[in-house]
Amino acid sequence: MTTSQPPVTTEERLAGLRRAAPVLLLLLALVVASLLSAGTASTAGLRLASPDRSRVDQVRQAIGNLPDNALVLIACDADLGTYPEIRAATRVAIDDLAAHGARLAIVSFTPEGRAIAAAERDRISRGGRIEPPADLGYVAGAEAGLVRSIASIVPAGAEGAVAEAIRERGGGIGAFDMVVIVSGSDISARSWVEQVGSRLPDLPLIGIAPTFLDPELEPYLRSGQLAGLLGTLRDGIAYTEAVSAGSATSPGPTPGPLPMLIGMLAAIGALAEAAFRRLVRRRGRHLRSGRAP
Amino acid sequence: MNGFAGTDLAGTIATWVAAIATIAVWSYLVGARRIFVLMQHLLAGLATGYLVLLAIRDVMMPRLVLPLIQQPRDNGLLLLVLVPVGMLIAATWLPRRAMAPVSAILVGGIAAFALGGAVVGTILPQIAAALPAGRAPSGDLAGEVISLAITSLVLLAFLHGAPRGTVTTRAANVGRWLLVGGIGGWIGFLVVSRLSLLVDRIGFLLGDWLTVLR
């Protein structure tokens, strides 16, 4: 009885490996594609950056229109699960703002965003090229916190030139000349438009968002409630390329076009396979019931 | 290099821990469920610890405890706040009737912010932006008519149980398929986001950890 146990286990393991084979093959293909891409923006004629530069131009124009010594708030509320997609664009935006002489402050309304904001501040401090944004910390209360921050956003213990400048201008979100919203699923540019934009209509809001938020945010760009939006990976990379061109600084790695293409093909393949299976099952049901499919 | 970990010893340890955790999570693909469950527990534990720390350090201490200690006279209202906070913490042991007002205030407040913001910040400005008033008829007008038609069809799809004729039923079916198409399109956007994360993780393993992409 007990001697039959090992072969069954081995068979089970083999079956498990067989089931996992497509995913493991995909991982292997992505590894090879990443090695081939190796940090270059284009591979064998493939380009991930969007050829339509209108959104990039809009964002750059909004940043270019900032007054001297402008106060800019970076609202970092990205998700850990989607931040890699917008990381390069966010870093380049911070560099771009610093290059335009803006005085930066960073705040978060979500715990995940706070962790990312702290890590980015730490990275900027280590780099030493630019002054890290003034830390306005974490504001609890989600949308209620957003509304409260319109009146007061600087923590009592915050010190430094930027914190003082914000206090001199009233101490709330209205003290800023622009807000760059690094969006996630909990608090996104939409929350800002709804809660802050309706109360401070003259404050330019720029959104940097992962692709899945783009359909939700695009109407706000078209209605003018957002002054700029980098809402897809392709827009983000186009912006990164436009700002980084001629600059010695690097925003870090961006996804290569080849791995993304392979991944998308795999996703389409999985979808087609599921549709085919459903079709076969349906046909079988019809044949069994004696009806035409 | 994603730049989060430095080149010092702490950074190197962080990179190794992150790389091992990534591979441990992926081990689920080959059936190593115990390792995956261990990683889940690690994530839950770390997230709870982080949230507790954040709540104490960034919320409770600066916004509640310190103001009450330093300027108790000016912050008398905060004492009132302590009552619902305490009740929410002890909700399991309190009778439902006692908890009802506190929960109602909480839910009502959240709903008020969400609904008020949606009406004032989204619905009204979006309708205003979509109206063709003051503009010459153009391609936008056709787009607006199509948007209105699609919205009507999708709304029809929600009319479950209402008496309907053949035309309304067919229109509702079209609306349902439009809804399915919309959700499918959105899932496509979501796939791109998740794929970026996967590609980034592979880039992290190859670049930051194994340093073959440097």
Of A119, A157, A219, Cβ closest to residue B62 = A157
Q: How far apart are CA A264 and CA A186, in angstroms?
A: 26
My answer on whether A198 and A293 are in the same domain is: no
Alpha-carbon distance values, B180 to A162, A264, B169 (Å): 49, 20, 16
Range of the domain at B49: 1-74
pLDDT of residue A1: 46
The reply to whether A41 falls in a domain is no
pLDDT of residue A293: 52
> For residues B117 and B1, which has the higher predicted lDDT (pLDDT)?
B117
Note whether B198 contacts A30, CB cutoff 8 Å: yes
Q: A245 pLDDT band (50/70/90 cuts)?
A: confident
The reply to whether A125 falls in a domain is yes
* Listed residues B50, B74, B98: the one ending a domain: B74
The reply to whether B7 falls in a domain is yes
Q: How far apart are CA A204 and CA A178, in angstroms?
A: 5
The fraction of chain A above a pLDDT of 70, given in percent, is: 92
My answer on whether A92 and A237 are in the same domain is: yes
What is the interface pTM, i.e. ipTM, of the complex? 0.85
* Listed residues B43, B74, B105: the one ending a domain: B74
Mean per-residue pLDDT over chain A, rounded: 89
A123, closest residue in chain B (CA to CA): B4
CATH number at A50 reads 3.40.50
pLDDT of residue A61: 96
Q: How far is B212 from chain A (nearest CA, A)?
A: 8
The dihedrals phi and psi of A75, each to the nearest 5 degrees, come to -95, 100
For B33, counting Cβ atoms within 10 Å of its Cβ (0-12 exposed, 13-18 middle, 19+ buried), the class is exposed
Give the number of other Cβ atoms within 10 Å of residue B138's Cβ: 9
When divided into structural domains, chain B yields a total of: 2
My answer on whether A179 and A276 are in the same domain is: no
Of B1, B121, B203, Cβ closest to residue A34 = B203
Note whether B125 contacts A114, CB cutoff 8 Å: no
Q: Do strands A205-208 and A178-182 pair parallel, antiparallel, or not at all (unpaired)?
A: parallel
pLDDT of residue A102: 97
Note whether B54 contacts A138, CB cutoff 8 Å: yes
Q: Is B194 in the A-facing interface, judged by CB distances under 8 Å?
A: yes
My answer on whether A235 and A267 are in the same domain is: no
Of B50, B121, B185, Cβ closest to residue A198 = B121
pLDDT of residue B144: 72
> For residues B132 and A41, which has the higher predicted lDDT (pLDDT)?
B132
The fraction of chain B above a pLDDT of 90, given in percent, is: 40
pLDDT 10s digits, A263-290: 999 999 998 999 999 999 988 887 877 6
> For residues B136 and B211, which has the higher predicted lDDT (pLDDT)?
B211
Residues of chain B positioned with their CB less than 8 A from the CB of A198 = 117, 120-121, 125
* Listed residues B25, B52, B74: the one ending a domain: B74
A198, closest residue in chain B (CA to CA): B121
The reply to whether A35 falls in a domain is no
3-state SS assignment for residue A43: strand
My answer on whether A281 and A165 are in the same domain is: no
Using CA atoms of B89, B94, B98, B102 in order, give the dihedral in degrees to the nearest 10.
Answer: 20
A220, closest residue in chain B (CA to CA): B126
Q: Is B135 in the A-facing interface, judged by CB distances under 8 Å?
A: no
- Rounded to an integer, the average pLDDT of B134-157 is 69
Range of the domain at A265: 256-293
pLDDT 10s digits, A191-227: 999 999 999 999 999 999 999 999 999 999 999 999 9
Residues of chain B positioned with their CB less than 8 A from the CB of A159 = none
Using CA atoms of B174, B175, B176, B182 in order, give the dihedral in degrees to the nearest 10.
Answer: 110
- Rounded to an integer, the average pLDDT of A144-161 is 93
My answer on whether A160 and A214 are in the same domain is: yes
The fraction of chain B above a pLDDT of 70, given in percent, is: 92
The reply to whether B103 falls in a domain is no
When divided into structural domains, chain A yields a total of: 2
The reply to whether B86 falls in a domain is no
Of B4, B109, B122, Cβ closest to residue A119 = B4
Query: Which residues are CB-neighbours of A240 under 8 A, at least 6 positions away?
Result: A49, A88, A89, A92, A251, A254
Note whether B199 contacts A30, CB cutoff 8 Å: yes
Note whether A267 contacts B191, CB cutoff 8 Å: yes
pLDDT of residue A94: 95
The reply to whether A74 falls in a domain is yes
Of A34, A157, A253, Cβ closest to residue B1 = A253
Of A138, A143, A211, Cβ closest to residue B193 = A211
Note whether A260 contacts B193, CB cutoff 8 Å: no
Q: B214 pLDDT band (50/70/90 cuts)?
A: low
pTM score of the predicted model: 0.88
Q: How far apart are CA A205 and CA A197, in angstroms?
A: 8
My answer on whether A174 and A118 are in the same domain is: yes
pLDDT 10s digits, B70-92: 888 888 888 888 888 889 889 98
Note whether B121 contacts A253, CB cutoff 8 Å: no
Q: Is B28 in the A-facing interface, judged by CB distances under 8 Å?
A: no
> For residues B136 and A111, which has the higher predicted lDDT (pLDDT)?
A111
